[in-house]
Copies of this chain bind each other. A is one copy, B any other.
Amino acid sequence: MRPTVHDIAAAAGVSLATVDRVLNRRPGVRHVTREKVENAIREIGYVRDVAAANLAKGRTYPLVFILPASDNSFMHGLNDEVRAAIARSSVERTAIRTLEVPAFDPAALVKVLNELGEERPAGIALVATDAPEVRDVVDRLVKDGIPVVTLVSDLTGSQRHHYAGVDNIAAGRTAARLLGRFLGGAKGEIAVLAGSMLVRDHRERLEGFAAVIAAEFPSLSILPVIEGRDDPEMAHMLVADALSKKGDIIGVYSLGAGNRGLIRALKEKAVDRSLTVVAHELTTHTRAALLDGTIDAILNQDAGHEVRSAIRVLKAKADGLAVIEAQERIRLDIFLKDNLP
């Protein structure tokens, strides 16, 4: 059977109270005694029974999710998933609170994070705005022993414990290869629709995309990026305009949100032309467009997985436990019309 605290006490030749003091970092244990206990723990392979410990502590994990106040399908979906997690909170012993901050606003994020430092929740998940001042607060929180994971968008060079999101450079590269291969050597121009180049995930997707196009599909050239601010109306206008003016666009890569506008523009302006289109994020609109042939492939990250993974990791870190790395890798989903969920 699994060893218990009693077994540690017996193995170390000390009392249960001393074992408890060591396990829970309570004061009043001599260095030598502490080492005796720690050795015993290691030797008999003791692992704390988290369920029993939580029961005894009556513990709940107060977690905070910091989400940007963006009005696009993906963020709405992410919000829904966090709310679903909140609905499960009594079973999972979590007490999840969400905070909304203005999107792409490092100062606001820093302010909120600083306040959380006082509050000391059991863990923080945030959609990071990639800025040095944000990284500095996060590093301080981590140093203070508060588990932090980034969600969807990572924080360059920070000490965050984990990133629950996809590899966006790989996503961009994958989009490029799909588009390149689907176009089969044709010559022409590629339009790229992004939300904003101020966001790290969009920058990275473009970076990966451009690299592969340049290296492996020289017959394709990328037009200047269209920034649609993740807004359907704006995306519609800009894409429709580009399609009207440029006759040699043969492919489109939409790496941000606002796909509803893109799809409308495509249906208006490109019925006669055979465009190859790769877009990000599976929504009602992109799904329908994939099925009717307007879009050829969708790259997706599963918001539900990201949220659940973030929670698992935060709880594990709060308990000082290991995580199953392979389980927490967020995968890039590729959907063709045949493998939609």
Mark A residues whose CB is within 8 Å of B.
2, 47, 49, 51-52, 54-55, 90-91, 167, 170-171, 173-174, 176-178, 181-185, 208, 212, 296, 302, 304-305, 308, 324, 326-327, 329, 331-334, 336-339, 341
Query: What are 21 residue pairs bridging A and B, where the CB atoms are less than 8 Å apart in the complex?
Result: A2-B90, A47-B91, A49-B55, A51-B52, A167-B339, A171-B339, A173-B338, A173-B339, A176-B338, A177-B336, A177-B337, A177-B338, A181-B182, A182-B182, A184-B184, A304-B326, A305-B327, A308-B324, A308-B327, A329-B341, A334-B339
Which B residues lie within 8 Å of A177 (CB)?
336-338
A203 shortest CB reach to chain B, Å: 17
Q: In the bound complex, do residue B170 and residue A339 qualify as a contact, i.e. CB atoms below 8 Å apart?
A: yes
A177 to B324, CA, bound (A): 34
Q: In the bound complex, do residue A338 and residue B208 qualify as a contact, i.e. CB atoms below 8 Å apart?
A: yes
A259 shortest CB reach to chain B, Å: 20
Tell me which of B49, B304, B331, B336 contacts A178 (CB under 8 A). Answer: B336
Nearest B residue to A182, CB-CB: B181
A170 to B334, CA, bound (A): 13
Copies in the complex: 2
Nearest B residue to A54, CB-CB: B51
Which B residues lie within 8 Å of A326 (CB)?
302, 304
Nearest B residue to A183, CB-CB: B184
**A327-B339 contact in complex given A54-B51, A55-B51, A184-B185, C-beta closer than 8 Å:** no
A206 shortest CB reach to chain B, Å: 14
A339 to B167, CA, bound (A): 8
A176 to B338, CA, bound (A): 9
Which B residues lie within 8 Å of A324 (CB)?
308
Which B residues lie within 8 Å of A52 (CB)?
51, 55
